[in-house]
Structure 1
């Protein structure tokens, strides 16, 4: 029982540290600021990489074509060799009255060393001409009419005021609100974003000079000049987790980045069953661990200590009548649940669901292990008919922070569309 007591104390200390020293990761207050009336409205090209997206495109593309943006904007949909008529459908949707100008193009198969999404993005960036900003958004992401205007206004920032300097950003990203309509979506999705924020605290990422950098690939507005300074899309051409690597590249190039939760951006992709959510996470969880067995073992042990020990040893303490063990384990579980409640509220879920987080974490642990197994079998990072090997060190930027226990959550190469396109 002495050993169990020390393990429980270690778990409690981990939760004290996470709660108070991990950048307030559990807060949900990082949202786009109000639009400054004096902000410029420069030209924007909206680039949508799409591969076999005919099912969701009618729910997403019209929202982009209907953006109410005071400046000049156009939409470029890059049909990544779809077999379901994605390109033809996009052209029909672009004929709606009042739509923004739409270009539908196909880049051909990606060359060796490129992921399909990034090859499509590169093609879209080339077609964007001299647009000052590029909105990179997935084909399963729907935007409210003022979404683009709000993103650009946030990037431009407001004028300097007494005591407050002008503040602008080179990259502004929003983590789209994922669907939570089915039982499995309600169980898995809020934790998905919660774990991502734990690994990449938004406040740290948004702080100038911080080594932490992250973005959500489903909705990322980047200044063209900053992208070019970072080496362009080619700088991250082999990255499966492209959004985080893009933010790191922009930050290394001297740019400022911002990431927050979305109020005007939603994913329309359904994940009705556990198997779809499982694949969403497992397809790139091992890539986040840099394909390292040591990091995999550390992640599994960390998840077990932080999320599984408190409920397991609370039950053990109750069975053994050990009050100290019960109190310590309950305190750890209490901190875990308390930090999860804000994310549940953001997703309009009952706070009591926070008590299920250990079970959800156990699923993420299994998804992470499965991700490694699939990689060892040669089926890692597979999506829509393509499988990507582990990139070489020169293909993607090195990580600026070491993955911690919740690394499985960062498999959202676009947590808002946790999909390649």
Structure 2
């Protein structure tokens, strides 16, 4: 049996080249509009909370001490917790009038993060309509909803650094970088830190120029008036990646999304494999769900064509890990003599040292770019002599996406769509 890998190799090379271009663009960073420092929208921080007693105390303490002259509020939505979460939230609300709580109960509770956020959005809308002084009489365009997970820790001046981006009335949302707070806990947590820092400060900075920056589930800032254009429940019910889905819908609606590289949010990384695989399966399945946006994006006349192209590529290129894994498996079968492998990809390069050099460069370029970005922006950079081992570990870790992709595709075929909460560690 003969298998030809030429076409697959060309596809993977084009993808590598695409991300290398993003890497080059990430060295040139956009800033907020000039003279926008006086822009100070009211920041309403939404904290979805379901059994978060291990981390909620520290999160609320952190949020209460943020430094921002424009005013900020905190709304904790308890999603039918069975631990001390409501007690902790209520205690904070009793001593700080900037903090409010709301409790969801069955059967409405337990339907996933999208429904919790929609609940919070409806509350804010109702309070605004009723003239609640908690919102200082602000207009919807002057209120920004900030999503911080219960394990999130915003950098102290993050609100002040993001606020100027909203001086542009066309900006509907801003995403900030994400770091793993416990990156030094073990090797698995460190791999997640490389992943998040690499994506935030490589892909997101570059996409900020294009106008296609994506939203994350943590550290997401969205203008209330932009959310109102999507209806009373802007987060799509049943979406496993409600952040990606929301960002795509805003862009399709003509809103601009930005990435703020000036600040970040810390969150917990998972330190064991089972919850990590469950979490990533949900993420990749949610990514596949968002393929429903491919046609609307292609037809969206209000979105710049380059941003549309980039977002379509971003949605589709998730299959790259499957292609790479396929080449590895086929190569292994060829080495064992079970199949005959042909690949004419590098025929255009002279045989010998030039061809081996090009092959090596293409092999190490992706991990080199990611680790280079990580070294520039991480709070936990590697020592120089640790980099070869880190590169090997991160390359191996990347094949996790192949396994979870198969699980996600199986879930889609079997129509399993359960939202599973990520477990927390004691803060």
State TM-score, norm by structure 1: 0.72
Aligned partners of 1:225 and 1:307: how far apart in 2? 48
Aligned partners of 2:196 and 2:10: how far apart in 1? 24
Structure 2 residue aligned with 1:136: 147
In structure 2, relative to structure 1, the CA distance for the partners of 1:247 and 1:12 (3 Å cut) is closer
Aligned partners of 2:9 and 2:412: how far apart in 1? 35
Whether the 8 Å CA contact 1:337–1:357 is kept in 2: the answer is: yes
The CA deviation string for residues 2-23 of structure 1, in whole angstroms up to 9 with x for no partner, is: 97784796377335532445x4
Structure 1 residue aligned with 2:406: 369
What is the SS of the residue equivalent to 1:121? helix
In structure 2, relative to structure 1, the CA distance for the partners of 1:191 and 1:322 (3 Å cut) is farther
Whether the 8 Å CA contact 2:180–2:266 is kept in 1: the answer is: yes
The CA deviation string for residues 287-307 of structure 1, in whole angstroms up to 9 with x for no partner, is: 312399xx8995554232688
Instruction: Please point out which of 180, 186, 195 is paired with 1:191.
Output: 195
Aligned partners of 1:151 and 1:9: how far apart in 2? 41
What is the SS of the residue equivalent to 1:106? strand
Instruction: Please point out which of 359, 373, 384 is paired with 1:329.
Output: 359
Structure 2 residue aligned with 1:382: 419
Whether the 8 Å CA contact 1:134–1:222 is kept in 2: the answer is: yes
In structure 2, relative to structure 1, the CA distance for the partners of 1:70 and 1:115 (3 Å cut) is same
In structure 2, relative to structure 1, the CA distance for the partners of 1:305 and 1:40 (3 Å cut) is same
CA RMSD of the aligned region, Å?
4.2
In structure 2, relative to structure 1, the CA distance for the partners of 1:111 and 1:58 (3 Å cut) is closer
What is the SS of the residue equivalent to 1:290? helix
What is the SS of the residue equivalent to 1:259? strand
Aligned partners of 1:341 and 1:203: how far apart in 2? 17
What is the SS of the residue equivalent to 1:76? strand
Aligned partners of 2:276 and 2:87: how far apart in 1? 29
What is the SS of the residue equivalent to 1:170? strand
Structure 2 residue aligned with 1:303: 324
Structure 2 residue aligned with 1:153: 164
Aligned partners of 1:124 and 1:61: how far apart in 2? 17
In structure 2, relative to structure 1, the CA distance for the partners of 1:312 and 1:43 (3 Å cut) is farther
Cα drift, residue 123 of structure 1: 2.0
Aligned partners of 2:178 and 2:215: how far apart in 1? 11
Cα drift, residue 60 of structure 1: 1.3
Structure 1 residue aligned with 2:300: none
Aligned partners of 1:137 and 1:149: how far apart in 2? 16
Aligned partners of 1:25 and 1:289: how far apart in 2? 28
In structure 2, relative to structure 1, the CA distance for the partners of 1:29 and 1:66 (3 Å cut) is farther
Structure 2 residue aligned with 1:127: 123
In structure 2, relative to structure 1, the CA distance for the partners of 1:298 and 1:136 (3 Å cut) is closer
Larger radius of gyration: 2
Structure 2 residue aligned with 1:54: 53
Aligned partners of 1:72 and 1:92: how far apart in 2? 21
In structure 2, relative to structure 1, the CA distance for the partners of 1:84 and 1:272 (3 Å cut) is same
Structure 1 residue aligned with 2:92: 93
What is the SS of the residue equivalent to 1:221? strand
In structure 2, relative to structure 1, the CA distance for the partners of 1:72 and 1:377 (3 Å cut) is same
Whether the 8 Å CA contact 2:23–2:369 is kept in 1: the answer is: no
Aligned partners of 1:174 and 1:307: how far apart in 2? 35
- Range with bigger deviation, 114-123 or 143-152: 114-123
The CA deviation string for residues 302-339 of structure 1, in whole angstroms up to 9 with x for no partner, is: 2326888999999x99xxx9756633431211322332
Corresponding pairs, count: 364
In structure 2, relative to structure 1, the CA distance for the partners of 1:195 and 1:176 (3 Å cut) is closer
Aligned partners of 2:417 and 2:47: how far apart in 1? 25
In structure 2, relative to structure 1, the CA distance for the partners of 1:12 and 1:331 (3 Å cut) is farther
Structure 1 residue aligned with 2:381: 349
Write out aligned runs for 1:20-419 (5 A): 20-21=20-21, 23-24=22-23, 27=26, 33=32, 38-95=37-94, 99=96, 101-109=98-106, 111=108, 115-128=111-124, 129-130=127-128, 131=135, 132-156=143-167, 169-179=171-181, 180-181=183-184, 182-191=186-195, 194=198, 202-204=205-207, 207-208=210-211, 212=212, 214-234=214-234, 236-261=236-261, 263-267=263-267, 269-290=268-289, 298-299=319-320, 301-304=322-325, 326-345=356-375, 346-347=377-378, 348-350=380-382, 351-352=387-388, 353-374=390-411, 380-384=417-421
What is the SS of the residue equivalent to 1:49? strand
In structure 2, relative to structure 1, the CA distance for the partners of 1:302 and 1:30 (3 Å cut) is farther
Aligned partners of 1:230 and 1:300: how far apart in 2? 33
In structure 2, relative to structure 1, the CA distance for the partners of 1:251 and 1:374 (3 Å cut) is closer
Cα drift, residue 50 of structure 1: 0.9
Aligned partners of 2:101 and 2:13: how far apart in 1? 54
Cα drift, residue 230 of structure 1: 2.6
